[in-house]
Amino acid sequence: MKGIFITFEGPDGSGKTTQIRLLREHCLAEGYDVVMTREPGGTPISEAIRALLLDPAHKEMDGVTEALLYAAARAQHVAEKIRPALEKGCVVLCDRFMDSSIAYQGYARGLGDDVRVINEFAVQGTQPDITFLMDLPAAAGKARVAAARDLDRLEQEDLTFHNAVYEGYMQLKEIYRSRFVTVDASRSIEEIAEEIRRRFDDYVAGRSFSQ
Ligand code: TMP
């Protein structure tokens, strides 16, 4: 792949969306072609699945159904948008990717390693080069989200669920040390953005980095 695939992960309310926009500006200023996208979503089919997944009315949704729908949305997203953009040499910035499924469905819903397996199938070998993990305790993220917007079906889960998501991320960053960059998300927007820019520049300079 000629491009660079960068994902942003973290608990709800950890500031991923703000930071992804700021990194996009930096990449554009550096002359890269940038594709900014999100999960679940990013293509018409995947956005339709997103609406199904996040509708607070769908309280009866089974955990396995949920995991398969996230994986299905991702399969379409990778095939239609992410892989073609990487083949063209773009920087692809994605708000959440398969680590979200492992943290939310694998750890917090308790579905375990099957979630990784179905997602390996969904992405067909397309994996992030860098994953920025926005590190913010679940309670702080939940408070930020509650103050800012109506809560979707996943955001409405209780603090026990969101603490399990956080623990899932803590394990993922140890398992995938070579691509995870953990960012202290309790700092100011500009401090965080500065660290992310520096990490990106280091990666591009050496096409590798270490924590
Ligand atoms: P967003 O609020 O970051 O757009 O994500 C929507 C919700 O979906 C969020 O609560 C996290 C959740 N989610 C999963 O549970 N599994 C996944 O694979 C993804 C991508 C998101």
User: In what side-by-side order are the strands of the sheet with 91-95?
Assistant: 34-38, 91-95, 4-9, 130-135, 180-184
Alpha carbon of 205 to ligand 1 centroid (Å): 31
Model confidence at 43: pLDDT above 60: yes
Atom of ligand 1 nearest to the CA of 53: 8
Question: Pocket around ligand 1: residues whose beta carbon is below 6 Å from it?
Answer: 12, 38-40, 54, 70, 96, 100-101, 104-105, 152, 154-155
- pLDDT the model gives residue 142: 87
Model confidence at 209: pLDDT above 60: no
Alpha carbon of 40 to ligand 1 centroid (Å): 6
Minimal-distance CA residue to ligand 1 atom 13: 100
Residue that has been written with the tokens 């699945």 in this structure: 49
Angle ∠(83,155,182) on CA atoms, nearest 5: 55
Average pLDDT of every residue of the chain:
95
- Stretch (H or E) spanning 94: strand 91-95
The SS3 of residue 136 is: coil
Burial classification of residue 153, based on how many CB atoms lie within 10 Å of its CB (0-12 exposed, 13-18 middle, 19 or more buried): middle
* CA neighbor of 71 nearest in space, from 38, 37, 97, 95: 97
Per-residue pLDDT averaged across 68-72, rounded? Answer: 98
Atom of ligand 1 nearest to the CA of 101: 18
- Of 65, 154, 157, which is best to mutate to test ligand 1, by the most ligand atoms within 8 angstroms of its C-beta? 154
Contacts of 124 (CB under 8 A, 6+ apart): 75, 78, 79, 83
Name the architecture of domain 4-204. 3-Layer(aba) Sandwich (3.40)
- pLDDT tens, 163-172? 999 999 999 9
Model confidence at 182: pLDDT above 70: yes
- pLDDT the model gives residue 146: 86
H-assigned helices in 78-158:
83-87, 98-101, 114-123, 138-148
For residues 18 and 2, give the distance between their C-alpha atoms in angstroms, rounded to a whole number: 26
- pLDDT tens, 44-62? 999 999 999 999 999 999 9
How many other CB atoms sit within 10 Å of the CB of residue 184?
11
pTM across the whole model: 0.95
- pLDDT tens, 84-143? 999 999 999 999 999 999 999 999 999 999 999 999 999 999 999 999 999 999 899 988
Atom of ligand 1 nearest to the CA of 40: 20
Q: What are 94's two structure tokens?
A: 């994605």
How many other CB atoms sit within 10 Å of the CB of residue 5?
24
Q: What are 12's two structure tokens?
A: 């709800």
